[in-house]
Structure 1
Amino acid sequence: MSGMYENVVPRNQRQPHSKRGWLVAIVVVAVVVLAACVYPVARTLLHQYQYKQYLSALSSQTTQVYTKNNLRAEVDGASLRITPDNAYAIYNTMVALGAGSVAGQAPEEAPEATLYYGDQAVMQLWDVSTDNTSRVYVSFDGPDRDFSYIIGEKGMEYLMKPLSPDQNPAWE
């Protein structure tokens, strides 16, 4: 038992415990919580910004095909010349329905409609089902902007009226 009292350190001479470990843990937790809160907001803002850029590109393409009358659509195996008024109806529908939601991977099956804006841009439309609701997956490949999203409120039948063979002549 000799030497036992030599290892005892008086209270006023003890080294304080390091609080650095706790500080690092608190900072790491704070960064993770902040990232979890900021990511959804940043993703939504980026989607809105890209949607506005897409609408700008779609607007210029719609204006071009309005003057040249060269919007061609492939719908149900038929090639149609979409009238200028119907081209604007499609554009107005895209504006009115809003940005919808971020799209994942494009459907593997053939699109229900493909619109060729001269030789500048292509828009493809698929009827997709999410949460037992029919929605439209939109893919736009333009000269300066590519964008895809899912229209939130309406299904494909909402867009089919301006793409109908009854309202548009055949492409010759």
Structure 2
Amino acid sequence: MNRRRLPRVAARTVLIVGEGDAEEVFLRYLKGLYVERGSGVAVTIKNARGKGAGHVVDYARRQAMNAQYDVVAALLDTDTGWTDAARKMAKQASIQVLPCDPCLEALLLAVKDEAIDGKTTDQLKRAFERRFGCSASEMDWTRHLDIALVDRKAGEHPVLGQLIQTFIRVDVAR
């Protein structure tokens, strides 16, 4: 049987490293919203298992050396290890940093119009658990965020906007 084969098109490859479990859960949810099968974008999500922003950047750098990615990004908290050395390492390795100040829970609470100003990381994590009834790593985002809300809030929260662009951008950043 003579089948016509369509030419293969190389997918745009994206590596996004999250600092911990909460970032991984959130990234996987966003990937499900924005990256369709056959879209020409292949997104790999990795978990750096904590240890601060410097470790996340270093982990992303090491993972990027294992395979060729068009875009490498790191979603991290700025409360621990976000130093000039970490910034320099990210710049030298061409890693797009998506900093949550001071933590991911602050961004997620702000998206849901909760007050976050002047609160510490611990206060924000407790406020998150009170608001949603669980930690960010246990969150079922399908119940609390839909694509319309995420799109609307992306303009108000630059990190969220950059993250979405990382998933859907068709140009090659490197």
Comparing both chains, which one has the higher relative contact order based on Cα–Cα distances under 8 Å and sequence gaps of 6 or more? 2
TM score, norm. by length of structure 2: 0.21
More strand by share: 1
TM score, norm. by length of structure 1: 0.21
